[in-house]
Amino acid sequence: MNLRTLLFLFILIPATFFGILFTLLLNLLDPLGNGFHRVAAWWGRFSARLFGISIEVIGQENYNPAEHYLVISNHAGMADIPLLLGTMKLDLRFMAKEELGKIPLFGRALRQAGYVMIKRGQNRDALNSIETAAELLKSGLSIHIFPEGTRSATGELLPFKRGAFRVAQKGGAPVLPVTIIGSHLITPKKSLKINKGKIMVIIDKPILPSSCSTIEELMAACSEVITANFNHYRNN
């Protein structure tokens, strides 16, 4: 445990709690969840400043904030979600593991804001979550999914799973590949320690699902882009 861990416990957690109460009220007035997103984006930027995390974003010109996308990225740290909320100029909803949806107040706020809870595996609940996410894409909202399914302990890329790309094909929205570098050093897996440091976010050009004949081809195309950016920028 270090100073930043104490800041997390005694400043960020209380700020998050009051932010959740505020967003529950916002959701009553704004059932689409747009107010929730504005609070969440502020929370992401506040978190980065609080912990001394600098963020370099490359490729902002590769997407249009007025459009909607299925955003996919690698996942290596707890900081990934707040940094994406704070840096992406999109009204993002996340696909989140079902355990988050069971947290009192927090889970309710996520659901009301349009976040999709997903149960891991190939069961009926997981398939229903994919259908829900695809419908949100069709409605014009942007969705974010971590196609690896879990955090990487070392920061190295893990194999992608098909679920995210089924959402892309069913939803018909462009896939926006995002590469995150350095977040595993900020919040190491299985540790309460929080470090300051630098994170790079590389946003590449969208990939149209219609440009690929199969889910596997779309998955391979996205994996290739993220892997190439990861290898190119990781030593910068």
Question: For residue 233, which of 81, 74, 83 has the smallest C-alpha distance?
Answer: 74
Percent of the chain whose pLDDT exceeds 90: 47
pTM: 0.90
Taking alpha carbons only, the member of 38, 49, 59 closest to residue 12 is 49
Query: How large is the average pLDDT for residues 190-215?
Result: 91
Q: Which two tokens mark 82?
A: 């707040």
Q: Which domains are present in the chain?
A: 3-233 (3.40.1130.10)
The string of pLDDT tens digits covering residues 81-135 is: 989 999 999 989 998 878 877 888 888 888 888 888 887 665 777 788 889 999 9
Burial (CB count <10 Å: 0-12, 13-18, 19+), residue 46: middle
pLDDT at 100: 78
The listed range with the strongest mean pLDDT (7-21, 61-75, 111-125) is 61-75
**What whole-number distance in Å separates Cα of residue 177 and Cα of residue 224?**
10
Among 77, 98, 102, 93, CA closest to 190: 77
- Alpha carbons 158 and 108: distance in angstroms, whole number: 30
